[in-house]
């Protein structure tokens, strides 16, 4: 265990929480031999608080790297005693840097040393320590010939992913990552570890599947796994630069129609596009979990309906684990030694409800804004538009087949998931860049509102600019917000787990 000089901590950390006394509590606590406590005075502090989104950086009062699950209970008792807001961290991928508190002066409970993964052949269930990244889980399950649906970025931590949603290319067939959870071990605000499942502490189990950071530090989860398909098709279609707004809009309309009713569950498919000074560069890519002949048949209606033809088609078969590597783009699944890829970025999202497709006018407003509003200097904008949970042959796919009230996660009955991303190549993400990015999403929401419609958002792509009230409204809605407030009062009435979007 490493600690820093307390007089330096007192000078560096916010005194409003009585941090020197809090530090004494942590340094005198009976933590496991593998635990590590890092304070602002320590040489490793900068590494301990590193984030992926540089624009949102904060200074925690302390970071506790848990050496054993029980370390969380000891640290939480100190946090509760001295009123220090606490957050949990695994992969450091929070777009709003909530993994270091989202504010200065927090306690960060880091789970990255909790790496155990076991598999029960009789049940097909795997138990995963939430120090693992998605790539670690994929590699471990592959050794047993198994897989589970999760996101495409292998370096994302399982903790945040399991708590906010966990959409990926296999989700339309088997559900999101959080839909696989059958049991969790959770360190709660009163410093105890409990089991949460449908049978035990069912209200906590409901809450952590969608709003987990407000309710505890999830230490491990037991999840469903699936036999790997014998082959997976990787595909990428590149289209010529689209110069006309109406052509681009017709691409979106064709994709939306396909995603709403015609995309089969084994197909994970997205449009990726970026506005350029000369027009729009468009790709369609993804994975199909099955034979290539079935993939070609499934996607022919979409390709036939597009107003432009691809200039390049890259289609090939892979094993399941090779597909996980390829879709990650880096090819490195083992998180050991994998550097944190940080940048000045900002992300937003839109979920388009089933049965309420975005209109021609809304798609036009969205496309016109991107192509006709000058981009700031040193700036790249893009959108990923995923087929999310539409129907296929009149039946719901796996995400929307699960009842809306099954967990805190909301808006699962959506046909499209849009991630609007942007990054600065300069030293900062400027106010001009924020204004451009927020105007792009507003082009959608303003048009939808004018038509008396609605769109929602996806909590894993957290918008750092929203207030808690705005986030709760869009991510959860009024009924679930009320229920989560009540569960919070039971499990964490003093708001030990506290961050800008927290309950």
406: left (phi over 0), alpha (psi -120 to 50) or beta: alpha
The domain ranges of the chain are 6-110, 117-228+479-491, 232-318+343-465
Position 20 scores a pLDDT of: 61
| CATH number, domain 232-318+343-465, options 3.40.640.10, 3.10.180.10, 3.40.462.20, 3.30.1280.10 | 3.40.462.20
CA angle 139, 143, 146 (to 5 degrees): 85
Architecture of domain 6-110 in this structure: 2-Layer Sandwich (3.30)
CA distances from 498 to 87, 364, 397 (A): 7, 40, 35
Position 6 scores a pLDDT of: 30
Position 331 scores a pLDDT of: 81
Say if CB 469 and CB 480 are below 8 A apart: no
Residue indicated by tokens 């009924």: 479
Position 479 scores a pLDDT of: 98
Q: Report the CATH fold assignment for 117-228+479-491.
A: 3.30.465
pLDDT per position in the chain (503 positions), as tens?
444 333 233 333 434 444 569 999 999 999 999 999 999 999 999 999 999 999 999 999 999 999 999 999 999 999 999 999 999 999 999 999 999 999 999 999 999 999 999 999 999 999 999 999 999 999 999 999 999 999 999 999 999 999 999 999 999 999 999 999 999 999 999 999 999 999 999 999 999 999 999 999 999 999 999 999 999 999 999 999 999 999 999 999 999 999 999 999 999 999 999 999 999 999 999 999 999 999 999 999 999 999 999 999 999 999 999 999 999 978 899 988 888 888 999 999 999 999 999 999 999 999 999 999 999 999 999 999 999 999 999 999 999 999 999 999 999 999 999 999 999 998 899 999 999 999 999 999 999 999 999 999 999 999 999 999 999 999 999 999 999 999 999 999 999 999 999 99
């Amino acid at each position: 265990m490493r600690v820093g000089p307390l007089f330096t901590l007192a000078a560096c950390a916010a005194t409003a929480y009585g941090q020197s006394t809090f530090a004494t509590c942590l340094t005198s606590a009976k933590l496991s031999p593998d635990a590590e406590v890092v304070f602002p005075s320590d040489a490793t502090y900068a590494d301990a608080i590193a984030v992926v989104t540089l624009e949102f950086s904060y200074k925690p009062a302390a970071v506790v790297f848990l050496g054993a699950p029980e370390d969380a209970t000891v640290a939480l008792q100190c946090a509760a005693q001295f009123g220090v807001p606490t957050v949990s961290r695994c992969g450091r991928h929070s777009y709003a840097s909530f993994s270091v508190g989202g504010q200065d002066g927090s306690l960060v409970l880091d789970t990255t040393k909790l790496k155990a993964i076991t598999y029960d052949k009789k049940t097909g269930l795997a138990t995963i320590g939430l120090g693992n990244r998605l790539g670690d889980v994929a590699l471990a399950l592959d050794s047993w010939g198994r897989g589970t649906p999760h996101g495409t970025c292998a370096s994302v931590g399982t903790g945040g992913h399991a708590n906010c949603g966990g959409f990926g290319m296999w989700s339309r067939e088997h559900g999101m990552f959080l839909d696989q959870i059958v049991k969790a071990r959770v360190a709660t605000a009163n410093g105890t570890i409990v089991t949460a499942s449908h049978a035990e502490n069912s209200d906590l189990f409901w809450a952590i599947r969608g709003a987990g950071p407000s309710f505890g530090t999830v230490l491990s989860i037991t999840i469903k796994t699936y036999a790997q398909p014998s082959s997976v098709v990787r595909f990428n279609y590149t289209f010529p630069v689209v110069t006309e707004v109406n052509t681009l809009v017709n691409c979106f309309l064709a994709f939306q129609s396909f995603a709403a009713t015609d995309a089969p569950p084994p197909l994970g498919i997205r449009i990726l596009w970026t506005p350029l000074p000369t027009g729009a560069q468009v790709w369609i890519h993804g994975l199909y979990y099955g034979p290539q002949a079935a993939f070609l048949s499934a996607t022919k209606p979409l390709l036939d309906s597009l107003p432009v033809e691809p200039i390049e088609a890259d289609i090939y078969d892979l094993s399941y684990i090779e597909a996980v590597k390829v879709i990650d783009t880096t090819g490195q699944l083992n998180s050991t030694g994998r550097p944190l890829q940080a940048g000045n970025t900002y992300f937003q999202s839109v979920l388009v409800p089933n049965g309420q497709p975005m209109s021609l006018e809304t798609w036009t407003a969205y496309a016109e804004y991107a192509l006709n509003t000058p981009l700031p200097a040193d700036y790249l904008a893009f959108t990923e538009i995923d087929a999310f949970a539409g129907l296929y042959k009149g039946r719901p796919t796996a995400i929307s087949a699960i009842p809306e009230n099954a967990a805190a996660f909301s808006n699962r009955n959506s046909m499209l998931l849009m991630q609007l991303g942007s990054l600065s190549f300069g030293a900062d993400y400027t106010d001009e860049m924020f204004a451009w990015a927020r105007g792009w999403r507003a082009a959608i929401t303003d048009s939808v509102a004018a038509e008396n419609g609605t769109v929602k958002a996806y909590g894993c792509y957290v918008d750092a600019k929203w207030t808690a009230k705005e986030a709760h409204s869009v991510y959860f809605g009024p009924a679930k917000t009320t229920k989560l407030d009540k569960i919070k009062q039971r499990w964490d009435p003093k708001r030990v787990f506290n961050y800008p979007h927290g309950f």
